């Protein structure tokens, strides 16, 4: 097991606690999901959340932070992200200024020169350190939630940057030594699965696959997220979306699109969806013209048997 600092104060009492807490933050979780979050806290391991776009991966981290009342530190990944952007950087300009001041003081003949060793120690102290998200999450004294978003956009080599932080909750800075976490942040990594992540990374994480929700869960999500929606409408929306997902489309409607659609219907004052309204508002749910055509055809025509 990893020799990180111990998790003295667990964040959650039970799996149910997680689920109810998330519900107060407006996030409808199922058992598996809340169970994994609960375990992540108990085992002090990061969660790798994977799934199609728009199924609430980022939202999970945000809601967890909101419900715990913790600060959310977010690292958005992109190709070309490096140490200086993810971990830490020396404040080069400030260091230059410091040197300048030293020299001027020397020229004025006032103060005795500091000497190389002392100056170096001074220049590479925490005063000149710019913390970036990962280091910030480690150094925070309050229990924070760290979100590393879209980790699959990183190059495979850059992934290694994260490993030390994720497994040991520490950052080694050559000039300063190792900075250990005083508290264990709750870490969420999200991935859209555009490439396979390295084994090393996967091994360190708990894996959570977020798929499209069940009918019941989707209905609950719509009810929670869309003000003014009736039970019947939510039910209908969830059913239609489920039917759409069973079609062979380029892109299936995601949860966020379901919510958008429900909002649209509420705004338009529609209480019950018939084929006509469904067809005229499909462009909220589906983003490809060909998909819209397929769906319109399928929804209007009763399947033959």
Partner 1 sequence: MLDILTGFVSELRQAGLPVSVAEEADAAEALGHLRLEDRQAIKFALGATLVKSANHWRAFDTAFEIYFSMRGPQFSVGEGDVSAGPELGPVPAGLEGRGPSSTGALEPVTAEEIAAMLFKALHEGDQMLLGAVARLAVARFSGMEAGRPVGGTYYLYRTLRNLDLDGVLSRLVAEARALAGGAAMSEDTDDQSQAGPVLRGRRPGQLTALEERLLEDEYRARIDELKKEIEAEIRRRLVADRGAEALARSVRKPLPEDVEFMHATRDELEAMRKAIAPLTRKLATRLARKRRHLRRGALDFRSTMRHSLSYGGVPVEPRFKHPRQVKPEIWVIADISGSVAAFARFTLHLVYAIASQFSKVRSFVFIDGIDEVTGIFDRSDSVSEAVHRVNLEADVVWVDGHSDYGHALTVFYERWGHEIGPKATILLLGDARNNYHASQSWVVRELSNRARRVYWLNPEPRSYWGSGDSILEQYAQFCDAAYECRSLRQLEAFVEHLV
- Per CB under 8 A, residues contacting partner 1 are 1, 15, 31-32, 35-36, 38-39, 42-43, 45, 47-48, 50-51, 155, 193-196, 199, 202-203, 205-209, 211, 215, 232, 235-236, 239-240, 242-243, 246, 248, 250, 272-275, 278, 290, 298-303, 305
Q: Does an H or E element contain 292, and which?
A: helix 289-300
Residue 277, SS3 per DSSP: helix
Q: Which is nearer to partner 1, 80 or 228 (CB)?
A: 80
CB of 123 or CB of 166, closer to partner 1:
166
CA 90 to the chain's CA centroid: 27
Place of tokens 């776009």: 53
* Least distance CB 42 / partner 1 (angstroms): 5
H or E stretch at 16: helix 15-24
Cα(186)–Cα(12) distance, integer angstroms: 12
Nearer to partner 1, 206 or 224 (CB): 206
Q: How far is the CB of 94 from partner 1 (least distance, A)?
A: 32
Q: 71 or 239: whose CB is closer to partner 1?
A: 239
What minimum distance in Å lies between the beta carbon of 300 and partner 1? 6
How far is 48 from 39, CA to CA, in rounded Å?
13
Beta pairing, strands 47-50 & 186-191: parallel
Min CB(170)–partner 1 separation in Å? 18
Q: What are the angstrom distances between the C-alpha of 289 and each of 238, 250, 263, 285?
A: 22, 10, 21, 11
Look at residues 137, 146, 148, 130 and name the one whose alpha carbon lies nearest to residue 170: 137
Distance CA 223, CA 277 (A): 20
Closest contact distance (angstroms) between CB of 117 and partner 1 is: 35
Question: Residue 142 or residue 232: which is nearer to partner 1 going by CB?
Answer: 232
> How near is the Cβ of 190 to partner 1 at its closest, in Å?
14
Q: Which is nearer to partner 1, 39 or 105 (CB)?
A: 39
**Smallest distance, Å, CB 230 to partner 1?**
10
How far apart are alpha carbons 18 and 36 in whole angstroms?
10
What is the rounded CA–CA span in Å between residue 189 and residue 301? 42
Taking the alpha carbons at both ends of the chain, their separation in whole angstroms is 58
Q: Which CB, 111 or 160, lies closer to partner 1?
A: 160
């Amino acid at each position: 097991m990893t020799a990180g600092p111990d998790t003295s104060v667990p964040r959650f009492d039970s799996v149910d606690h997680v689920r109810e807490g998330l519900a107060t933050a407006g996030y409808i979780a199922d058992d598996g999901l809340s169970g994994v979050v609960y375990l992540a806290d108990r085992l002090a391991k990061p969660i790798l959340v994977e799934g199609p776009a728009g199924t609430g991966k980022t939202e999970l981290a945000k809601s967890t932070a909101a419900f715990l009342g913790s600060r959310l530190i977010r690292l958005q990944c992109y190709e070309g992200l490096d140490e200086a952007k993810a971990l830490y950087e020396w404040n080069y300009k400030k260091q230059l200024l410091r040197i300048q001041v030293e020299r001027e003081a020397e020229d004025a003949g006032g103060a005795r020169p500091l000497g190389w060793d002392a100056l170096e120690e001074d220049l590479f102290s925490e005063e000149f350190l710019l913390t970036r998200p990962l280091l910030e999450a480690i150094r925070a004294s309050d229990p924070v939630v760290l979100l590393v978003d879209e980790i699959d956009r990183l190059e495979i080599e850059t992934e290694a940057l994260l490993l030390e932080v994720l497994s040991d909750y520490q950052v080694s800075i050559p000039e300063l030594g190792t900075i250990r976490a005083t508290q264990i942040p709750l870490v969420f990594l999200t991935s859209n699965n555009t490439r396979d992540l390295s084994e090393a990374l996967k091994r360190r994480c708990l894996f959570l696959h977020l798929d499209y929700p069940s009918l019941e869960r989707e209905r609950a999500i719509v009810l929670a997220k869309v003000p003014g929606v009736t039970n019947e409408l939510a039910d209908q929306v969830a059913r239609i979306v489920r039917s759409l997902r069973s079609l062979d489309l380029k892109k299936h409607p995601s949860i966020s699109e379901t919510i958008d659609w429900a909002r649209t219907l509420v705004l338009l004052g529609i209480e019950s969806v018939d084929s006509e309204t469904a067809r005229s508002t499909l462009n909220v749910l589906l983003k490809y013209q060909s998909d819209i055509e397929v769906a319109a055809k399928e929804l209007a025509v009763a399947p033959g048997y």
